[in-house]
Amino acid sequence: MQHDSSDHRRGLLFAFLAYASWGLLPIYFRLVASIGPIEVLSHRVLWSCVFIMIILVARKEFGRFVDTMRDPRILAALTTSGILIGLNWLVYIWAVIHGHIVATSLAYFLNPLVNVLLGVAFLGERLKSLQWFAIGLAAAGVVILGAGAPETLGLSLFLAVTFAFYGLVRKLTPVSPLIGLGVETLALVAPGMTGLAWSASHGGLGIGQHAGTTALLVGSGLITSIPLLLFASAARLLPMVTLGLIQYVTPTMLFLTAILLYGEHLSPAKWATFALIWTGLIIFATHALHSARAAKTATT
């Protein structure tokens, strides 16, 4: 029992560190706002790949990584998930640099509900009427945003949908988180090199021009990989319901960062949208907790 309690505490720590790290990313990327998003993304991919390869070698998992690369079906799936997360990262970086952090917050508040819809559509999962009501509230919020403040709606939906499909592909691909991330980043190395070449021919590269900027660009590999590894560890130690509730730390931090630190303005349509989505998430989370407790009671 003590061992289980220790694992739970470690899982909570890892989860909070992972989600808090993602919540602080806008501050990091605003520090390199003078660099184009394509170059920032390219460095994020390339240095993440370097870091992951080092970890694979250190943990003596490089052989398994090579074996995974030889499986055409897994390679195709992870290449697809790599493209999805690469596109997600690119739009996210662009949004942060151009002052649309609220839109990213909205995306990641929406993401759990989009995940549920994908589960219904592709995994045959069924929802209770209360869960459908929660999703309906979020959908109403999206409609209001589209009517009253459509300028960033597409951005939010793109981030939510690409990350949800990324999660779906990874869920259906039988590979460990570390090896999966290694294959994904390796698949993005060629586009990353192309991005650097494009940036070099369109105004020059930011790396190497200033020591602080260079350190931040190289460090983007660490701030990408470490939270993912923390998350993977937390996922093994915590129930999915607990992990699902903690995930709201990230969009909450994004929202507060946008409003309090960078002074982003929320129109009435955006406030109405957030109110509906928050209400839907509270209903959804409450239902999930109730279901988890009922299941636990039934098995004891």
Contact 36, 199 (CB under 8 A): yes
Residue 79 has pLDDT above 90, yes or no: yes
Domain boundaries, the chain: 2-299
Q: Are 262 and 33 in contact (CB under 8 A)?
A: no
Give the residue among 83, 117, 101, 192 at the shortest CA–CA distance from 155.
Answer: 101
Cα separation, 7 vs 237, whole angstroms: 6
Percent of the chain past pLDDT 90, that is, above it, reads 52
pLDDT-based confidence at residue 2 (cuts at 50, 70, 90):
very low
Instruction: Tell me the pTM.
Output: 0.88
Across the range 101-107, mean pLDDT stands at 93
- Residue 41, judged by CB atoms within 10 A of its CB (0-12, 13-18, 19+), counts as buried
- pLDDT of res. 267: 87
Structure token digits, residue 123: 């995994």
Question: What are the tokens at 232?
Answer: 């993977």
Determine which of 82-91, 131-140, 233-242 has the lowest per-residue pLDDT on average: 233-242
Q: How confident is the model at residue 1 (pLDDT cuts 50, 70, 90)?
A: very low
**What gap in Å lies between CA 277 and CA 269, rounded to an integer?**
12
In our burial notation (b when 16+ CB lie closer than 10 A, e otherwise), range 162-201 reads bbbbbbbbbeebebeebbbbbbbbbbbbebbeebbeebee
Question: Mind giving me the DSSP string for 199-260?
Answer: HHHTT--STTT-HHHHHHHHHHHHHHHHHHHHHHHHHHHS-HHHHHHHTTHHHHHHHHIIII
Ranking 51-65, 155-169, 177-191, 239-253 by mean pLDDT, the lowest is 239-253
Model confidence band, residue 70 (pLDDT cutoffs 50, 70, 90):
very high
Rounded Cα distance, 264 and 262, in Å: 6
* pLDDT reported for residue 201: 92
Nearest to 160 by CA among 130, 191, 138: 138
Q: What tens digit of pLDDT does each residue of 269-282 get?
A: 889 989 998 998 88
